[in-house]
Structure 1
Amino acid sequence: MPSESPRTAKPTTLFVSDLHLDASRPQATAAFLAFLAGEASQADALYILGDLFEAWVGDDDTSEPGASVASALARLSASGVAVHFMRGNRDFLLGEAYAGRCGMRLLADPCVVRLQGEPVLLTHGDLLCTDDLAYQDFRRQVHDPAWQRQFLAQPLAARHAFAAKAREASRAHHATVVSAGQAEEITDVSPDTVEATFVRFGVQRMIHGHTHRPAVHELHAGGRGRTRVVLGDWYDQGSVLRVGAGGWSLDRLAIGAS
């Protein structure tokens, strides 16, 4: 009898987020492309839960690393691996045109999917950081459809300039909360919001990124035990969650020097 393919024999679903790919960090892009050509090619599905790119100013931007990533994701999708993408706070403008080039399906944030027969909540994670009032105000502004239409109508150079200013403002905001000793409570998730989200969706497990604090948290919410899995970023090292018949595993990936 012929042996089963790895994808048939050991079905695995992979989750990543917060890669923050940018031309200034070619080592991270190289690591992700190697991941797509290697482990991801043997998976059943790949979920990217936001912030694939450091900034995304519109699907009409064909510069790197977006172009090479689109080609690699398209090859992965064409090989039979289901690719899913959820927008993050850095690439909330990524749209259907780019998703089509990649062969990936766009997901609402939040959404519930079934993993190993169990409903699991997926979210980028910024919606859980409700104690950061300044950020939540900014998020509401840039997710307004009218704001997005006006922004995307601007020349590409103007959009890149805005993105650069937004990144600088984000760094300044983070420095302010750190100096005030509020980094843990302001930039991390709100426990009350996490509990309310679990109860609202009625799930036992949640997966998210955004906070760059990779961990598996066991907690009680609504009188039930729950599990919150936080994906890590791809700065000094990569982060991947593997879900299969053998269980769940949150692991680190090496990223080589540039």
Structure 2
Amino acid sequence: MSEVSYSSAQSALTYFIADLHLAQNRPDITACFLSFLKNEAPKAQALYILGDLFEYWVGDDDDSTFIAEISQAIKNLSELDCTIYFIHGNRDFLLGQRFAKQAGMQILPEVTLIDLYNKPVVIMHGDTLCTRDVGYQAFRKKSRSWWWQAMIKSLPLFVRRKIANNYRNQSASATAMKSQDIMDVTDNEVIHCLEQYKSQILIHGHTHRPAVHDIKANGKKAQRIVLGDWYEQGAWLKVTPDSMELMDSPFELNK
């Protein structure tokens, strides 16, 4: 884990999102996200995207019009004085500096400590907290290695797209066979993370179970805030100096 401090204390409003799983075959999600970028996000001075922005990522050389549209929309927001940060998820961990630069995003370490209105807050995608999912953790370790990523990136773009589609189908089948407990976070891992960073607040996505959990860490009250996914509605965490609120927006409002 990397400990890096990024201050957003000067902001009056900060948004956190995760698990959009943007894909060409889900125009409803795309429309909702584009609406969020145009109408809601400009109110904030910082937007944190905590992984799985895309359903899958085959490489920064993906030249599809869909990727270009998303890139430009994020870039437009960054030009409105909204600083955009990105943390890799389990679906888009191959997203690199080339795309980040095009979209006006800053890539953060997979576990990052930020100064959020004078409070130390840990942010992450959340997949590393699910330690009971042994099969996934084994794949995660392999897929984050330099040799595996070098091998994948060396393949032609059309081959990478085919592999990504096959993996998506296999992942869906494997997930259907796993219990909900296996795919949720391990409590001890959450506490360990908070105590390692001496923080009382953890914000993450990945589990698709939006909620605010009151827990105990460092011998004091703490909170674990889980961001919602975008499969059936838009979802984000709205943070001001005085409050944190999970928000959502039905797809029909963005037609």
TM bucket, shorter chain = over 0.9
Task: Work out the CA distance in 1 between the residues paired with 2:43 and 2:224.
Answer: 26
The 8 Å contact of residues 200 and 217 in structure 2, kept in 1 or not, is answered as no
Deviation at 1:252, TM superposition (A): 1.3
Runs (5+) with no aligned partner, structure 1: 1-8, 178-182
SS of the residue corresponding to residue 139 of structure 2 reads helix
Task: Work out the CA distance in 1 between the residues paired with 2:71 and 2:183.
Answer: 31
The 8 Å contact of residues 198 and 204 in structure 1, kept in 2 or not, is answered as yes
Deviations 1:10-61 (A, max 9, x none): 8200000000000000011011011101110121100000000000000000
Match of 2:98 in 1: 97
* 1:211 paired to 2:207: yes
Pick the aligned partner of 1:187 from 180, 183, 186: 183
The 8 Å contact of residues 29 and 65 in structure 1, kept in 2 or not, is answered as no
Decide whether aligned partners of structure 1 residues 123 and 10 sit closer, same or farther in structure 2, where only a CA change above 3 A counts: closer
Decide whether aligned partners of structure 1 residues 219 and 71 sit closer, same or farther in structure 2, where only a CA change above 3 A counts: same
1:77-88 equivalence runs, <5 A: 77-88=78-89
Deviation at 1:245, TM superposition (A): 2.3
Match of 2:195 in 1: 199
Decide whether aligned partners of structure 1 residues 254 and 10 sit closer, same or farther in structure 2, where only a CA change above 3 A counts: farther
Task: Work out the CA distance in 1 between the residues paired with 2:151 and 2:170.
Answer: 21
Deviation at 1:102, TM superposition (A): 0.4
1:167-178 equivalence runs, <5 A: 167-177=168-178
What amino acid maps onto 1:254 in structure 2? P
Match of 1:41 in 2: 42
* 1:109 paired to 2:110: yes
Task: Work out the CA distance in 1 between the residues paired with 2:240 and 2:167.
Answer: 38
Greater than 3 Å deviation, 4+ residue runs: none
Task: Work out the CA distance in 2 between the residues paired with 1:117 and 1:212.
Answer: 28
Deviation at 1:221, TM superposition (A): 2.3
Deviation at 1:184, TM superposition (A): 2.2
SS of the residue corresponding to residue 84 of structure 1 reads strand
Deviations 1:187-238 (A, max 9, x none): 0001111111111111010000000000000011242211000001001111
SS of the residue corresponding to residue 38 of structure 1 reads helix
Match of 2:248 in 1: 252
Deviation at 1:246, TM superposition (A): 3.1
What is the alpha-carbon root mean square deviation over aligned residues?
Answer: 1.4
Deviations 1:57-108 (A, max 9, x none): 0000021432111101111111111010111000000000000000110010
Q: TM-score, normalised by structure 1?
A: 0.92
Runs (5+) with no aligned partner, structure 2: 1-9
What amino acid maps onto 1:65 in structure 2? F
Task: Work out the CA distance in 2 between the residues paired with 1:83 and 1:222.
Answer: 30
The 8 Å contact of residues 21 and 65 in structure 1, kept in 2 or not, is answered as no
Task: Work out the CA distance in 2 between the residues paired with 1:165 and 1:36.
Answer: 31
Aligned pairs, number: 245
Task: Work out the CA distance in 1 between the residues paired with 2:185 and 2:163.
Answer: 27
Deviations 1:129-172 (A, max 9, x none): 00000000000111001110110010011101111111111111
Task: Work out the CA distance in 2 between the residues paired with 1:41 and 1:231.
Answer: 20
SS of the residue corresponding to residue 101 of structure 2 reads helix
Match of 2:164 in 1: 163
Match of 1:127 in 2: 128
Task: Work out the CA distance in 1 between the residues paired with 2:204 and 2:63.
Answer: 28
- Amino-acid identity (%): 42
Q: TM-score, normalised by structure 2?
A: 0.93
The 8 Å contact of residues 205 and 226 in structure 1, kept in 2 or not, is answered as yes
Task: Work out the CA distance in 2 between the residues paired with 1:10 and 1:228.
Answer: 22
